[in-house]
Amino acid sequence: MSVPLLEVRDLRKSYQLTGRPALEVLHGIQFSLNPGECRPICGPSGAGKSTLLHILGGLESPDGGEIIWKGESMKGWNRTQGALWRRGAVGFIFQSYHLIPELTVEENVRLPAMLAGVQLGERWEDLLDEVGMTLRRDHLPGELSGGEQQRVAVARALILEPDLILADEPTGNLDVASATAVLDLLVRMVRERQKSLLLVTHDESVAAKVGNPLRLLDGRLAEKEK
């Protein structure tokens, strides 16, 4: 049996609110994800889905528990190791796209590589083609529909070929037709590259296309994962 890509053990998070008791959001989350495995994270609004995804993507830190990446605990990592991992190992896709409005489609897709000092060759052109945005490469995000912006965000998330894609309600702002197209594209591209995907959704029909769901309710996983 191969080593899991990601193991999460007893992950805890609370928010300190001034003048009020701390708000416990995650109460000991435990699961693992294999290389090439795609799983939706389902649950109602406020369940802690975004908080979990932000912690897994290194955007927030947990209060307790452990994250193990390819068999190595991230607990002992210093800031540089964490920053390198965040840059190269995970790709993030947000509900509201988060493209840089002043940059063109092409510049948005190439940005992670520019920040990382990676030479892309023609890889970015192939990727732009794959998400169907070649003819719009000189356009600004404000000139694109929501579905088009999210396709650009998918290309940006995949440009450095990260092993793990984290997507937080990536089709939540889209109409039904665009949502279906973006979801099918994302899942196909992740599977073809044999990457892993955690995709947050509250929509069961979206979840069914991704894989076996992790169900989060009030900061706990409904079924205990080994």
Ligand X SMILES: Nc1ncnc2c1ncn2[C@@H]1O[C@H](COP(=O)(O)OP(=O)(O)O)[C@@H](O)[C@H]1O
Of these partners, Mg ion, ligand X, none, which one is at the site of residue 191 (CB under 5 to 8 Å by kind)? none
- Of residues 67 through 86, those in contact with Mg ion by CB under 5 A are none
- Please check whether residue 33 is in contact with residue 6, taking contact to mean a CB–CB distance below 8 angstroms: yes
Here the tokens at position 146 are 């929501």
- Of residues 10 through 49, those in contact with ligand X by CB under 6 A are 15, 23, 25, 43, 45-49
Site map (CB under 5 A) of Mg ion, residues 1-40, x = contact? ----------------------------------------
Q: Which of 168, 170, 158, 145 is nearest to 108 (CA)?
A: 158
The single residue among 4, 5, 6, 51 that binds ligand X, judged by CB under 6 A, is: 51
Smallest separation, CB 52 to ligand X (Å): 7
Name the residue nearer to ligand X (CB basis): 48 or 112. Answer: 48
Of these partners, Mg ion, ligand X, none, which one is at the site of residue 115 (CB under 5 to 8 Å by kind)? none
Of these partners, Mg ion, ligand X, none, which one is at the site of residue 48 (CB under 5 to 8 Å by kind)? ligand X
Name the residue nearer to ligand X (CB basis): 49 or 195. Answer: 49
Q: Which of 4, 12, 1, 22 is nearest to 196 (CA)?
A: 4
Q: Find tokens 């092993």 and name the residue.
A: 163
Name the residue nearer to ligand X (CB basis): 112 or 219. Answer: 219
- Please check whether residue 14 is in contact with residue 208, taking contact to mean a CB–CB distance below 8 angstroms: no
The single residue among 37, 41, 48, 50 that binds Mg ion, judged by CB under 5 A, is: 50
State the alpha helices, DSSP H only, in the chain.
49-56, 79-89, 105-116, 123-130, 146-158, 176-192, 204-210
Of these partners, ligand X, Mg ion, none, which one is at the site of residue 71 (CB under 5 to 8 Å by kind)? none
Q: Is 135 in the site for ligand X (CB under 6 A)?
A: no
Q: Which of 148, 167, 147 is nearest to 157 (CA)?
A: 167
Strand-pairing partners, residue 197, are 38, 165
- 219 burial (CB, 10 Å; 0-12 / 13-18 / 19+) is buried
Name the residue nearer to ligand X (CB basis): 67 or 152. Answer: 67
User: DSSP letters of 38-60?
Assistant: EEEEE--TTSSHHHHHHHHTTSS
Name the residue nearer to ligand X (CB basis): 13 or 136. Answer: 13
Q: Which residue ranges make up the site for ligand X (CB under 6 A)?
A: 15, 23, 25, 43, 45-51
Q: Which residue ranges make up the site for Mg ion (CB under 5 A)?
A: 50
